[in-house]
Structure 1
Amino acid sequence: MIKKLDRDAARQKKHMRIRKRVKGTEERPRLCVFRSLNHIYAQVVNDVTGRTLVAASSLDGEFKAANVSGGNIEGAKKVGELIAKKALEKGIDKVVFDRGGYIYHGRIAALAEAAREAGLQF
């Protein structure tokens, strides 16, 4: 009998395949993205040391002041701008993008494009 994986298990499987190739270093840390139904999270991680250098999400105070929902494209754009701003303040301008097993479409693409427009290179 063939068992069908649920969506999240399939995404996690894709993410593991991606993570075999995408590594964040000190020179180019990894910008990883997680999305839930109502929120979106992004963080810049140095995989060599295992430390999160910068993080932004739709739960941050700066985001809530903008009065935007985290579950739509506008919210993802705002989080992309926030993560880029915080990363540039820390001196990080080049990153490796980790889409987290999600399709590069919708909120994930909007976050990535907003981060690029705000100054991050990937």
Structure 2
Amino acid sequence: MEKNIARLRRAKTTRSHIRDLGVARLSVLRSGQHIYAQVFTADGSKVLASASTLQSEVSDGLKGNKNKDAAAKVGQLIAERARAAGIEKVAFDRSGYRYHGRIKALAEAAREGGLQF
């Protein structure tokens, strides 16, 4: 099975479980050059907060955009913006990626920033 198809299959099952929970969803997209994070409403119809390494407040002072430090900075920023939008508790949607490296760094920084998941 192709690698991306398997990842999307895992993401689909995770999202269906999160939909049943009825809480806001913190979704992560990891590309070769950047990392993106968004907080959606429980039904997924509206984006409440977003952060990525494309934004200047994240990329300023970083050595690169595709390392754990950049992911941690995105995690801190998404937690700050979600809390400003009134979101305290989220379900972590890792989009089928394994929980290690950049995904883990983002999640731990978001937890330290005050999000509960």
TM-score by length of 1: 0.88
1:40-119 matched pairs, under 5 angstroms: 40-48=35-43, 50-119=45-114
Q: What residue number does 1:22 align with?
A: 18
Matched-pair contact (CA < 8 Å) for 2:24–2:40: yes
Q: Distance in 2 between matches of 1:46 and 1:89?
A: 14
1:26-41 matched pairs, under 5 angstroms: 28-41=23-36
Matched-pair contact (CA < 8 Å) for 1:30–1:96: yes
Unaligned 5+ residue runs, structure 1?
A: none
Work out which of the two has the higher radius of gyration on C-alpha atoms and give 1 or 2. 1
Q: CA RMSD in A?
A: 1.4
Unaligned 5+ residue runs, structure 2?
A: none
SS in 2 for 1:16: helix
C-alpha distance after superposition, 1:21-76 (max 9, x if no partner): 11274xx3100101011110000001426111101001012112233422111111
Size of the aligned set, in residue pairs, is: 116
The structure carrying a bigger helix percent of its residues is 2
Matched, 1:8 2:12: no
